[in-house]
Amino acid sequence: MKEKLIVLLSFLLLNINTTEAQTTINGITLPAKIKQETTELVLNGGGVRTKVFFKLYVAGLYLPAKNKNGNEIAAADKATAIRLTITSGLVDSEKMSEAIREGFGKSMKGNTAPLKTQIDNFIGTFKKEEIKEGDTFELWYIPGTGVKAFKNGKLQTTVVGLDFKKALFGIWLSDSPVDDDLKEGLLGL
């Protein structure tokens, strides 16, 4: 009886630990948690952004607590982050900038005019220096601060506004995301 109890407890502890384990997708490891200053977020889900047959980047969505509702995540005034790791040499600064701009168009149903200045400022993040395979971008929304964009751990820009956060995260999580399969992966569906 005692041995069965030990086996059962070991099994339960093993399962608890694996729910917080890192995840590897397309050869890229997404940590179970990421931290920015005093804010720590947990991996909600991840996936690969594909276009035609090319795997362009691996993305991981990080939240204070797991959530499967994309619109709720995008609209919430809560710390949120997405981590993008470039996995294709086909992605360069110009193509990434263009893709992000198109993503804002989809997220905002074509009405990007109200956020044009913020979008242009944010897209500058991808033009400051050439993008290479292996580069990692972390896009953090911090309530009261805005979206902080990091490239390989170095702060590139900060864009204020919850409306901007909603449009940005809507690129991947809205009803019209850039990639339906990626959205499902990010939401852990």
3-state secondary structure 41-54: EEEEEEEEEEECCE
Q: Which tokens go with 35?
A: 């931290």
Note the pLDDT tens digit of each residue in 99-147: 999 999 999 999 999 999 999 999 998 988 899 999 999 999 999 999 9
- pLDDT at residue 20 in the model: 60
- pLDDT at residue 17 in the model: 39
Element (H, E) at 170: helix 162-173
Please work out, in degrees rounded to the nearest 5, the angle formed at the alpha carbon of residue 123 by the alpha carbons of 140 and 130: 100
Could you give the percent of the chain with pLDDT greater than 90? 81
Which residue type occupies 150?
Answer: F
Instruction: With a cut of 50, say whether residue 15 has pLDDT above it.
Output: no
> 174 near 103, Cβ under 8 Å?
no
- pLDDT at residue 11 in the model: 40
Contacts of 119 (CB under 8 A, 6+ apart): 101, 104, 112, 164, 167
Angle at which helices 162-173 and 116-123 pack, to 10 degrees?
60
Indicate the pLDDT class of residue 14, thresholds 50, 70 and 90: very low
> 188 near 44, Cβ under 8 Å?
yes
Q: What are phi and psi of 127, to 5 degrees?
A: -105, -10
Q: Which tokens go with 64?
A: 């204070």
Least confident of 11-25, 44-58, 107-121: 11-25
Q: Which tokens go with 14?
A: 């093993």
The domains found in the chain, sorted by start residue, are 23-186 (3.50.70.10)
Q: What are phi and psi of 86, to 5 degrees?
A: -70, 130
Indicate the pLDDT class of residue 9, thresholds 50, 70 and 90: very low
Instruction: With a cut of 60, say whether residue 6 has pLDDT above it.
Output: no
- pLDDT at residue 51 in the model: 87
What's the mean pLDDT in 29-34?
96
Instruction: With a cut of 60, say whether residue 160 has pLDDT above it.
Output: yes
